[in-house]
Structure 1
Amino acid sequence: MKILTHILLLFAVTNCFAQSKTVSLQLIAAQEVIADSYVGTDSFDNYYTIQNQVFKKKNKTAEFQYKNIALGKIESTDLQNPLQIVLFYKQMNAVVLLDNQLNETIKINFSETNPELFPTQVRLASQNRLWLYDQNSQKLGLYDFVKNHFQPITANIELPIVQSQSNYNYFYWTNNQLQLFASNIYGKINLLGNLPEFDQFELLSSTEILLKKDNILSIYNCETKTSQIIPTEEKSIKSFYYRDQILSIFTNEQIRTYKIILP
């Protein structure tokens, strides 16, 4: 009876592993680049980099640049809408919006238009607005860049925001306690979970998070609290970008683009 029990248990475990699904990658392209940092790739196969604080967009046939040295370091970028790219210059308290040829369409100097504001996180929202976390008030809000008006939507967010990303309807952020939160445009905040230590994150869904830690990429599930390592060939991963099942990895010398097949 014991032998039969062991056989059945072994069969169950083996069957479980046989049915488990893994992440797989299919290499699409590898592009040699010279850049300080890689920003991302849009749905039209344009890739964006920063070199010597010059923001660049390049494809197979054309290259565009935006340079504004007076504004200092580019703190963050938002490629959510390739027709309305957001560059945030934290040191100079300024934001620049660019069109698809990297022409400057709007420049906001908060020190002049809204001197009470000191944003530390800026992302694109809907209807001529930006998601903005104001360090002075410690509140997340929506900034109308046509009317130059900031509308706070949350109570104080006291723990420092470390990283953020957004879509038109939600703003996501992590704090220094590795907690992941989401706020909708009405200011309703949800705790999505606690993350393991990471260097960079991208949301796959409200429960699955793509994480980079050192030179390892993994998918973390906030519900099951489990991680699955993504099998990559790169020995050195400086940063990555994910969009519509396309994973791009920057290795300092190349941008390697994969079709990612999720379990």
Structure 2
Amino acid sequence: MFFSTLAVGQSTMTLNIKETIALKADHIVAVDNFETIYYTVSNILYKKPKNQPSINYSNVQLGIPTTVNAYNPLKINMFFQDFNSVVILDNRLAEIYKIDFNQLQPYRFVTHVSTGYDNTLWVFNQEIQQLELYDYKTNKRRITTVPVQSNVLDLKSDYNYCWMLTENYLYQYTYFGSLISKIENKGYTSMALNNENLVLKSDASLFYKSKKSDAIIPLKTPKLLINQFLLTNETLYIYDSEKLHIYQLKIE
């Protein structure tokens, strides 16, 4: 059993190995509260409920998705950067909406997409170096933030906030587009989000940021390849390209 203890403000964090699952995937998209795993292999998105057969979706015309976001399982968004397009799927992985930014005005060159509330998506428009809250039903932007001056590395969101990681800073915005936090990026390249808590990756190390503090604290993990990582409630998932390692994360 792997065990670690960290100080997070006035709290204590413990991390314990729960389970390891053999899994072959190109990208682990999400693991929900019911242990349903969403993952991609080539251009196919799989939804695998625990102890049930998987279902899948693929789009031959658009090919391999750049990112998939399953924060809202009723409106899963698949982003295809090469085609500047997004496909929205329901919980049965049936296509319910398609957005082709090449065919819309004003033109947007989108590099990052994440889930918003209602019928919206957070999109980073490279043309104007701005983050937008985009309503895909009305083809209108509800919010536009101030332009950023460095490349965007990652984008994560829930219904209330959006976090944008750039080469220089980690930004946090409200769904009104107000900037409420700006933290210097000290080498972080990607992040995972759950319940407003973040796990960030730098090289082969993971770091934890509580929603209660701007402090970013090293998280001691076993020596394994961190190909991907996810956070679901108090569970940390680390994927090494062959196995999904599951750790219980507890803050006391």
Q: 1:21, CA displacement in angstroms?
A: 6.4
Q: 1:260, CA displacement in angstroms?
A: 0.7
Structure 2 unaligned segments of length 5 or more: list them: 1-6
Total equivalences in the alignment:
242
Q: 1:121, CA displacement in angstroms?
A: 1.7
Structure 1 residue identity aligned to 2:128: S
Q: Residue in 2 aligned with 1:215? A: 204
- The 3-state SS of whatever aligns with 1:111 is helix
Tell me whether 1:188 sits opposite 2:184 in the alignment: no
Residue of 57, 74, 78 corresponding to 1:66:
57
- The 3-state SS of whatever aligns with 1:71 is coil
Q: Residue in 1 aligned with 2:81? A: 90
Equivalent residues of 1:73, 1:91 under 8 A apart: no
Residue of 233, 236, 258 corresponding to 2:225:
236
Equivalent residues of 1:202, 1:209 under 8 A apart: yes
Q: Percent identity?
A: 26
- The 3-state SS of whatever aligns with 1:35 is coil
Q: Residue in 2 aligned with 1:127? A: 118
Q: 1:226, CA displacement in angstroms?
A: 5.5
Q: Residue in 1 aligned with 2:95? A: 104
Equivalent residues of 2:46, 2:57 under 8 A apart: yes
Structure 1 residue identity aligned to 2:200: L
Tell me whether 1:254 sits opposite 2:237 in the alignment: no
Q: Residue in 1 aligned with 2:109? A: 118
Equivalent residues of 2:109, 2:125 under 8 A apart: yes
Distance 1:37 1:116 in 2: 29
- The 3-state SS of whatever aligns with 1:91 is helix
Q: Residue in 1 aligned with 2:17? A: 27
Distance 1:92 1:115 in 2: 16
Structure 2 residue identity aligned to 1:248: Y
Cα separation, partners in 2 of 1:137 and 1:217, compared to 1, 3 Å: closer
Q: 1:225, CA displacement in angstroms?
A: 4.8
Structure 2 residue identity aligned to 1:217: L
Residue of 28, 33, 39 corresponding to 1:49:
39
Q: 1:209, CA displacement in angstroms?
A: 3.8
Q: Residue in 1 aligned with 2:160? A: 169
Q: 1:217, CA displacement in angstroms?
A: 2.3
Distance 2:187 2:30 in 1: 22
Residue of 133, 136, 144 corresponding to 1:153:
144
Q: Residue in 1 aligned with 2:4? A: none
Distance 1:160 1:152 in 2: 20
1:137-178 Cα shifts (integer Å, max 9, x gaps): 22222211212223442232332221110111211111112x
Cα separation, partners in 2 of 1:220 and 1:128, compared to 1, 3 Å: closer
- The 3-state SS of whatever aligns with 1:133 is strand
**Range 239-248 or range 183-192, more displaced:** 183-192
Question: Higher helix share goes to which structure?
Answer: 1
- The 3-state SS of whatever aligns with 1:140 is strand
- Structure label with greater radius of gyration: 1
Residue of 137, 141, 156 corresponding to 2:132:
141
Distance 2:83 2:174 in 1: 28
Equivalent residues of 1:220, 1:228 under 8 A apart: no
TM score, norm. by length of structure 1 = 0.82
